[in-house]
Amino acid sequence: MDTIFYNKIVNSTAHRPIRDLLSNEVLNSKILLPDLIAIAFDTEDKNHHKACWILELVFENKIEWLEPHLDIFCETLTHFKNESALRSIAKICLFTCEHDLKHQGFFNQKHLQKITEACFDWLINNETKVATKAYSMRVLFILGKKEEWIHPELKRIIAEDSAKHTAGYKAAAKDILKRISK
């Protein structure tokens, strides 16, 4: 583990310029990616959420870099509890599914199952914040194009839960319901 890079993560903040700086460091030196992944996926590390923020920006630019790490990524999904980390992880799930939609075979059936389960869990969990739920809806909408049972289940959950959520949730739900209906 690169201790200098680890300390940069520990001392980082949520401010976008700092996250951009660290993500660019990884994008310019891919050798740092395994360390970043190790920190992000170690949910016992109190700074893992900071690594997730940076990882989100890295995978936004280079989602194909996740491919060799998809097994560990998918196995770790259910371990994330920190809401700050969850938001970024849900967004990485979205990038993964969008990439697979364009490049069939990016992930396998086991990965699809793990991502689907995690997103449904985040969607129905009362403790999960709206941003994570909104990303989960989008992921499940995409996955519903591969698995027929997902759209009816997603539609049911959104319809039942919309009344008890914020305007942000309702807006995301309305968009997804409209897309499912097409």
Condensed to tens digits (0 to 9), the pLDDT of residues 18-66 reads 999 999 999 999 999 999 999 999 999 999 999 999 999 999 999 999 9
Q: Which position has the token pair 């980390």?
A: 85
What burial letters (b/e) apply to 31-51, b meaning 16+ CB within 10 Å?
ebbebbbbbbbebebebbbbb
pLDDT interval class at 144 (50, 70, 90): very high
pLDDT at 162: 79
| DSSP three-state, residue 146 | coil
Element containing residue 60 per DSSP (H, E)? helix 48-61
Residue 146 CB-density burial (10 A; 0-12 exposed, 13-18 middle, 19+ buried) = middle
CB-facing half-sphere around the CA of 19: CA atoms within 13 A: 17
